[in-house]
Structure 1
Amino acid sequence: MEPQNDTQILELFLLGLSEDPELQPFIFGLFLSMYLVTALGNLLIILATISDSHLHTPMYFFLSNLSFVDICFTTTTVPKMLVNIQTQSKVISYEGCIIQIYYFTLLVGLDNFLLTVMAYDRFVAICHPLYYMVIMKPQFCVLLVLASWAISSLNSLLQSLMVLRLSFCTDLEIPHFFCEPNQLVHLACSDTFLNNMVLYFVAALLGGGSLAGVLYSYSKIVSSIRKISSAQGKYRAFSTCASHISVVSLFYCTLLGVYLSSAVTQNARSSATASVMYSVVTPMLNPFIYSLRNKDIKRALKTLLGRGTGKASGS
């Protein structure tokens, strides 16, 4: 007999990173600090790219979109965790869990696609500089971002619907600080074969395809840089990619590390701790990576902050 689906009365419990009461104030302070730094840092990147006309280029258009997605990404998971710690409650409603899964999947996909689009932008800039403005027209850039949103939205809708078809027999404890799709699938008491097949197929198709696109773009970029005769020219060409390479490496290495390690160890609590890297730490570090290594962003930020200081002193 098939188990009855009790999802209408189901309560889920997010166990978080630790159940030790003495650690809760530390975890709360740490994650609140990281969330505020992430929101402020990415917001400054967005405001800098909007306010400085020199940054109205395809590369910074994609960067501002990435910053917006990173703010939304951390907002999907961290505030609920902070509220649970503050109220000493681990409960999340079934509907809230599905919504969290939808937006988490959507925003991970967007991060993935935007990094691929940015790699393509650098490929065109270095390998086909004379045709850069012809290829990377504003309409085409907007189309790339809209396509990323459309594909990510369809994928997140599919993943959410796949979870909705599952049956759960009892109240569930999720050893994580947010509703991670894979964790919820593992706790279902109905057949999850189709869910796992869809999950791994989509991850291989979208994630693997995007990573292959990034690697192909950079193989062509490295080949083009090697053909440049002057050392200064090589350095200038490489410096335009350095920040993006750092962000791509951080995102994919942490994401792959989490899922590969979880497949090997089957330790859900370790996986939850490791997932902090790509879901919280990476979005926090992105603004620092781009601002510290980019003279244009530094100049725009100084101008933006200078205006804010001038207005404050003037008032």
Structure 2
Amino acid sequence: MSTLTPNRTATSDSPALPPGDTPWRTVLGLALALTAALALLLSAFAWPATQTRPRDLPVAVVGPPPVVEQARAALDRAQPGAFDVTAAADVEQARDLVRSREVSGALVLGPGGPSVVVATQAGPAVAQLLTQVGQAATGAAVPVEDVAPAPAGDPRGAGLAAGALPLTVIGAVAGAVLALRVRGPGRRAVGAVVLALLAGPTAVGVLHGWLGALSGDWLAESAVVSLGVAAIALGVLGVAAVAGRPGLVLAELTVIALGNPLSAAAGAPALLPGGWSELGQALPPGAVVAALRAVSGFGGTGAGGPLAVLALWATGGLVLLAVAALRTRRHAPYAAAAA
């Protein structure tokens, strides 16, 4: 006589679920939670785009003092609070101010007619904006001098803007995968570092070598990307190690849903609302973009702050992993005694 055995096939793909139908309140709760997540993501990605405009954008103006003051007043009337005007003695000083990242561009109002000095690699949107300002001031096209032009392979500067999200995602996904699939804080840290060392040259090979979206030193660009991926992955790992899965979710949302939209990859930090621009530059995605722009177009000028942010995130992640490891070792004897 054969004995009937329970059919486990139907539930073998979800062994963690309790027997019976899922309560309706759980189903509705999940639907509400996912709807809230949709609203959060839409707000995080769409809100910065709708609020992008110049705010205290540093601009140099070359010309006699009365002309500089007239330009300052005209700019303030046209767009109040949009520009922070600095007087420059001559065109060469204006170029130096743009190359040193002290100003975003310059308006030259001399006897030979107006012209504009821009640096596209600091942000194509800013260069385009300043060109439009110069044209609006004269009612005609003006000569444009670009002291940090976009790479020849990417004249619109779209490659770096498009590449920022994949760099963020791979670092965040790596942190989640290592946190969930690898045991031991040390092994997780090594996994993140190895990935980062491989990701830097790989990403630069695509962005610089193939697409031509970068134009600086290959080694410096690879180092920036590697440090950026390490900062994201180790930061996620560290938070997850001390705060568990809720911490992992929070870290992922912070990096992807907040950090990437505020990275100013498609614009410039000065085009974001005050406070949000600073927050964006304090998160790894914004710091990676800023550092890559610095090493690609300005020989590293202006990279110190972003690199410090990335180093702080990477070091903080390692410290949190070490704290989690010490906590585990401290509790291990008690767990063994209880067993």
Q: TM-score, normalised by structure 1?
A: 0.33
Structure (1 or 2) with the larger CA radius of gyration: 2
Decide which structure has greater strand share: 2
Decide which structure has greater helix share: 1
Q: TM-score, normalised by structure 2?
A: 0.32
